[in-house]
Amino acid sequence: MDVKIENSWKTHLTPEFEKPYFSALTTFVKAAYAQGPVFPKGNNIFNAFNSCPFEAVKVVILGQDPYHEPGQAHGLCFSVPEGCPKPPSLQNIFKEIEADLGYKPQPSGNLERWAQQGVFLLNATLTVEAHKAGSHQQKGWETFTDAVIQTLASQREHLVFLLWGAYAQRKGSFIDPQRHLVLTSVHPSPLSAHRGFFGNHHFSQANQYLIDHGQTPIDWH
């Protein structure tokens, strides 16, 4: 199957694209978009991959679903397009960055500036029906993104995995902490952020680990 995705990722993920589950997933997703509306736009489904080639990845942030309201999702977890107000979890992410590193939050919640530095912003499910959170779960996306994480964890070294919330921690439970830095906390959602997301210092820890392994740290502005 010819999936339109950045070439380095296509090289590593072609075996997944040839599996029966991915064919069934593709059929489901095409039908869902035909009935619509579904987010993100079709050309943004693989935006996380297209914005951050395989060998460029330094940090992995794992989300769950794309935003399911109009104008928010554009294929990068937690991120919103230019001009879109920051959702509550993203506001809390920037609050922690300010407390941890002293950076005043930028007005824009578009995290492409992170992706271009090597932050891979992956949702576990890459599509969602409008207004229906979780509507495309258990259709095959989780199998695919498990394979993505497994490929990164096994073929790269000294990555930083930021796993926020129980869902992300379960999904990343197989990552070897001797090979990579795995940082966990509760989710930045307003429901949980005060129980350990605030004060987790994940951004400074990630940068120190990158520096310790000879890599350029991330500018988290």
Residues annotated catalytic, as ranges: 65
Give the Cα separation of 13 and 174 in Å (integer).
19
Give the Cα separation of 89 and 104 in Å (integer).
17
Q: Give the full edge-to-edge strand order of the sheet including 181-185.
A: 119-123, 59-63, 160-164, 181-185
Strands 38-39 and 119-123: unpaired
Give the Cα separation of 65 and 131 in Å (integer).
12
C-alpha triplet 81, 183, 204: angle, nearest 5° = 70
Tokens of 92: 């809390």
